[in-house]
A and B are shown apart, each in its own frame.
Chain A
Amino acid sequence: MKLTTREDKGIVILEPKGKIMGGPDATLLHDKLHELITQGKKKVVIDLAKVDWMNSTGLGILISGLTTMRNNGGELKLANVTEKIQSLLTITKLITVFETFDSVDQAVASFK
C-alpha cells in the first residue's frame, strides 16, 4: 500500500493506494492518522478510490482513526468507497458508523 497526503480548505485528505491487508504497509495509514492528531489536524477525509480491497486489519485501522479523531474533537469521513469496501462495511455494519461520500469534494464540503 502507498499513501499520499494533501490538504484542501484545511481538511487533510489521505489517499491510500493498493491493498490494505496488515503487515508493515498497514501501519503507514495507522501512524499517519495518529501523527495528524499530534499536529492538531482533526478533520480528515480518506479517499478510498484507489484501494483495491481491504481486510479486517484495514477496517480496524479505519475504526482506530475514527475513534481517535472523535476522542480528540475531530472527525474522519470516507470518500469514493469502492463496491467491495462498501460491501465489507455493510456486512460488518460499520456502514452505520462511518459517514461516506461519493466524492472527496462532497466530503470536504460536509465539514462546513
Chain B
Amino acid sequence: MKKVIRKNNQIIIPSSQIYLARVDSFVEGKLKKLKLDKNQLADLAISVTEAVNNAIVHGNKKDPEKKVTLRLICEKSCICIEVEDEGKGFDLNSLPCPITEENLLKEVGRGIFIVRSLMDKVDFIFKPDGGTIVRLTKYLKNKE
C-alpha cells in the first residue's frame, strides 16, 4: 500500500510515521464541525496520534505492505475513534508502568498510559485472525 485513502469518516494510511500529520489534519477537520472545546480537541488529537503511532510502529512494525485504518464515529453522547492495524497484537498486562522510578526517564513507553488518562474509555480488540483495534471513547460534555 503506497497511498492514503480517505472515505467519509475513514482514513487508511501506509505504515509510516510520515503520515501522522495527515491523520491529525483529517481528524481535526472532522471534529471541528462538532464545536468541541479546545481541551477536548487536544485530548482527542493527542490520543489519536498515540494510537496511530503505536499501530504503525508496534502493530505493523513499519511494514509498508500493511495499512492502518482510522474510523471516526460521532454520536450524540460521545466520539469514538477506532484505530486498526494488521499486527499480531500484544499483551496488555506486560506493559511497564511509565511512572515508576525506574521507568521515569525512559524516552518511550508512555503512549497507552497517556491515552488512558485522556480518554473516558479505551478498548483493545484483538482479532482472532490478526490485527488489533484500539477504540478511543470521549464522552461529550453537557450531554448524557
Contacts and interface: CB of A to CB of B under 8 A. Distances in A.
A92 interface: yes
Contacts of B50: 55-56
| Chain B at the A interface: SS class | helix
A25 interface: yes
B107 A64 contact: yes
| Chain A at the B interface: SS class | helix
A55 B114 contact: yes
A109 interface: no
Interface residues of B, number: 26
Interface residues of A, number: 27
Given A55-B114, A64-B107, A91-B113, 15 more contacts: A19-B45, A21-B24, A21-B49, A21-B53, A22-B20, A24-B17, A52-B42, A55-B49, A55-B50, A56-B109, A56-B111, A57-B49, A63-B105, A92-B99, A96-B104
Interface of A: 19, 21-25, 52-57, 59-61, 63-64, 66-67, 84, 88, 91-94, 96-97
